[in-house]
């Protein structure tokens, strides 16, 4: 299919690739789609939201459990979130969290990989392991009647994975093949280059999956060490949402996670970002077969739970979030330069960034950069009009309740709230807090985040043709795409 935005259905192209081009997403175990959570969006409809009551308990092994009963579908979604993301990768072993995460289901003390697959998949449940910068999550969605059995399997995966040697070797082979094949995905390589350009040596500065260079060194011992040192009940939380009585959740969790030990007593401390590594510099990633350039730009943002969140989010909708954003209007609608452009704040537990992503035909590379930078500068210098802010607030406020529609989205909100200390009233009061944002507050965050310092710029494309277009944007360095394998 074909379409105006980025499609949900692979075969159609949607009318527009609006949503922020998947930056650094929580990675699903099969390293393919990196779907970021949708930007929190909110409502002019003032009716109160329905959010389930949270029931808390702690297992004897010290795992915190949050349960919420919710119908009407006979399904349950459970999510075990461990503060063992890629920022906690062992020294010299970038990608080990993601690698270990993928191996969890390849065998435990009691079950072979085949037995795990069969147990989960036979009943129509689905199991996924996702690793992001901050967390490693094991998620299972299951028909409600099989919930306790599925929780039991989840417990085994984290308590007693066996990491068979042959599975480690095979996984390494597959990962290396994937790194090679990623070189054929222009947007993936451009995203990777941006991450490095922004974060440099910071713990958030490498791809969640690491690189071919680091993964090639992985051994079973590395995986065992990561599991033992980083994954444990004290830095984890279990969230269960769906058609199940919270009392049963507490009892089943006790049984599933009894005796789980290991991991640190408290989450590892990740430092803030001192400075954007390549601020003011231009990185050209050479891929001579391209007829388009992938363009990325970025600068500093803020961490989760920061007071700038609401004004920044409102600003971002007006600048490059929605379909009527300034960037979309100038770059796509008025000039036809691209199919998709967007900007976003990526807030993680310790720090965050503000970035822009788009693409255009090789000849228009400089034009699209100049038009984008001009729009961002305009926002920085003049802020937002009251009407524009009202529109952004109505847009996000109206759509925010969509985030309370599914068990999965509620479980993920609960995990976010708890891990990042957002407060249990976060969902219920989101729309009020958004509505309270003033143009003055937006102007203040615009001054701060809209590239007050020159951004790091990444262009992936035909270096020969784009290099001369980029003069004057900052010192240019050309790197081969293979550097990002």
Partner 1 sequence: MRKASPKTTAPARAADPALQSLFDVHEATLPNGLQVRLLANHLAPVVSLYTFFNVGSRNERPGITGISHLFEHMMFNGAKKYGPKMFDKTLESNGGSSNAYTSHDMTVYYDDFASDALETVLDLESDRMRSLRISQEMLTSEREVVKEERSVRMDNDIGGMMGEELDSLVYKAHAYRWPVIGWLADIEAITREDCQAFFRTYYAPNNAMLYIAGDIDPKKTLALVRRYYGDIPRGPAPLPVINAEPEQRGERRATVRHPAQSPAVMIGYRGPPARDEDTLALDVAQYVLTKGEGSRLTRSMVYEQKVVVGVGLDWGWRIDPGTVLFFLELKPGADPQKAEASLYTELEKLARDGITDRELQKALNNLRSDHLRELGTNNGRAHAMGNYEALLGDWRHVLTLPSAYAAVTSEQVKAAVAKYLLPERRSVVTLLPAPSAES
From the list 12, 219, 261, 382, which residue makes contact with partner 1 (rule: CB under 8 A)?
Answer: 12
Q: Are 190 and 294 in contact (CB under 8 A)?
A: yes
CB of 394 to partner 1, least distance (A): 5
The contacts of residue 212 (CB under 8 Å, 6+ apart) are: 176, 179, 180, 485
Please, which residue, 141 or 412, has the CB nearer to partner 1? 141
Q: Which is nearer to partner 1, 433 or 447 (CB)?
A: 433
For the bound state, the minimum distance from the C-beta of residue 19 to partner 1, rounded and expressed in Å, comes to 9
Cβ 432 to partner 1, closest distance in Å?
14
Rounded to 5°, the CA angle 48-50-54 comes to 125
Contacting residue, 137, 365, 407, 412, with partner 1 by CB under 8 A: 407
Do strands 292-300 and 456-461 pair parallel, antiparallel, or not at all (unpaired)? antiparallel
Among 8, 201, 265, 266, the residue binding partner 1 under the rule CB under 8 A is: 8
Residue 9 sits in the site that holds partner 1 (CB under 8 A): yes
- Report the residue number, 83 or 462, with the smaller CB distance to partner 1: 462
Residue number with CB closer to partner 1 (89 or 330):
330
Among 259, 336, 421, 423, binds partner 1 (CB under 8 A): 336
Going from the C-alpha of 239 to that of each of 53, 66, 266, 355, 366, the distances in angstroms are 13, 5, 19, 31, 47
Q: Does 430 bind partner 1 (CB under 8 A)?
A: no
Range 265-284, binding partner 1 (CB under 8 A): none
Cβ neighbours of residue 144 closer than 8 Å, sequence gap 6 or more = 74, 75, 76, 242, 243, 244
**What is the secondary structure of 93-159 as a DSSP string?**
-TTHHHHHHHHTTS-BSS--HHHHHHHHHHTT-EEEEEE-SS-EEEEEEEEGGGHHHHHHHHHHHHH
Closer residue to partner 1 (CB): 13 or 420: 13
Nearest approach, Cβ of residue 404 and partner 1 (Å): 5
Residue ranges in 142-201 that form contacts with partner 1 under rule CB under 8 A: 142-143, 170, 173-174, 176-178, 180-181, 183-184, 186
Using alpha carbons, select from 6, 39, 51, 31 the residue that is nearest to residue 429.
51
User: Is residue 366 near partner 1 by the rule CB under 8 A?
Assistant: no
Choices 8-16, 264-272, 377-385, 467-475; region in contact with partner 1 by CB under 8 A: 8-16
Tokens matching residue 411: 């479980």
Element spanning 169, H or E: helix 165-182
Interface with partner 1: number of residues (CB under 8 A): 91
Note whether 18 binds partner 1 by CB under 8 A. yes
Q: Within positions 339 to 358, which residues make up the interface with partner 1, using CB under 8 A? A: 339
Does 126 contact partner 1 by CB under 8 A? yes
Interacting residue with partner 1 among 280, 406, 422, 448 (CB under 8 A) = 406
- Name the strand (E) or helix (H) holding 89: none
Helix (H, G, I), strand (E, B), or coil: what is residue 207? Answer: coil
Residue from 351, 198, 354, 352 nearest 276 by CA: 198
List 67's β-bridge partners, or say none. Answer: 55, 240
Binding flags for partner 1, 464-483, as an x/- string (CB under 8 A): x-------------------
CA dihedral 452, 453, 454, 456 (to 10 degrees): -110
Which of 72, 92, 472, 475 binds partner 1 (CB under 8 A)? It is: 72
* Smallest gap from residue 117 Cβ to partner 1 (A): 3
Query: Please, which of residues 36-65 interact with partner 1 by CB under 8 A?
Result: 41-45, 47, 49-50
Among 220, 404, 420, 448, binds partner 1 (CB under 8 A): 404
Q: What is the DSSP letter of 281?
A: -
């Amino acid at each position: 299919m074909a379409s105006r935005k980025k499609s949900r259905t692979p075969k159609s192209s949607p009318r527009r690739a609006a949503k922020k081009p998947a930056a650094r997403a929580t990675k699903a175990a099969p390293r393919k789609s990196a779907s970021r959570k949708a930007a929190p969006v909110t409502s002019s409809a003032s009716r109160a939201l329905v959010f389930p009551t949270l029931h808390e308990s702690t297992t004897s092994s010290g795992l915190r459990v949050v349960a919420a009963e919710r119908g009407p579908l006979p399904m349950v979604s459970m999510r075990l979130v461990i503060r063992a993301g890629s920022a906690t990768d062992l020294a010299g072993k970038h990608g080990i969290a993601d690698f270990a995460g993928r191996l969890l289901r390849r065998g435990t003390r009691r079950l072979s990989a085949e037995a795990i697959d069969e147990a989960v998949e036979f009943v129509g449940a689905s199991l996924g392991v996702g690793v992001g910068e901050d967390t490693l999550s094991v998620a299972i969605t299951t028909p409600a009647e099989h919930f306790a059995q599925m929780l039991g399997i989840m417990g085994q995966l984290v308590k007693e994975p066996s990491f068979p040697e042959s599975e480690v070797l095979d996984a390494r082979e597959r990962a290396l093949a994937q790194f090679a094949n990623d070189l054929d995905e222009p947007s993936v390589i451009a995203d990777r280059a941006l991450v490095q350009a922004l974060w440099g040596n910071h713990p958030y500065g490498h791809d969640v999956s690491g690189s071919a260079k680091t993964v090639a060194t992985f051994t079973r011992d590395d995986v065992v060490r990561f599991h033992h040192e980083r994954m444990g009940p004290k830095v984890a939380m279990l969230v269960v949402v769906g058609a199940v009585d919270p009392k049963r959740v507490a009892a089943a969790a006790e049984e599933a996670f009894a005796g789980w030990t290991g991991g640190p007593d408290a989450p590892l401390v990740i430092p803030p970002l001192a400075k954007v590594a390549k601020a003011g510099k231009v990185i050209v990633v050479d891929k001579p077969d391209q007829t388009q350039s992938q363009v990325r730009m970025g600068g500093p943002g803020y961490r989760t739970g920061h007071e700038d969140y609401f004004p920044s989010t409102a600003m971002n909708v007006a600048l490059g979030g929605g379909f009527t954003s300034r960037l979309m209007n100038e770059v796509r609608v008025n000039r036809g330069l691209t199919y998709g452009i967007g900007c976003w704040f990526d807030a993680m537990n310790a720090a965050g960034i503000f970035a822009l992503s788009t693409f255009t035909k090789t000849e228009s590379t400089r034009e699209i950069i100049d038009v984008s930078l001009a729009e961002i500068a305009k926002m920085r210098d003049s802020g937002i009009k009251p009407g524009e802010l009202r529109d952004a607030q109505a847009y996000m406020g109206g759509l925010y309740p969509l985030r309370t529609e599914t068990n999965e989205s509620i479980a993920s909100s609960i995990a976010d709230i708890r891990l990042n200390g957002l407060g249990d009233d976060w969902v219920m009061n989101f729309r009020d807090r958004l509505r309270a944002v003033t143009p003055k507050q937006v102007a203040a965050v615009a001054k701060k985040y809209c590239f007050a310092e020159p951004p790091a710029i990444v262009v992936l494309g035909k270096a020969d043709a784009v290099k001369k277009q980029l003069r004057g944007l900052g010192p240019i360095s050309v790197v081969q795409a293979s550097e990002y394998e």
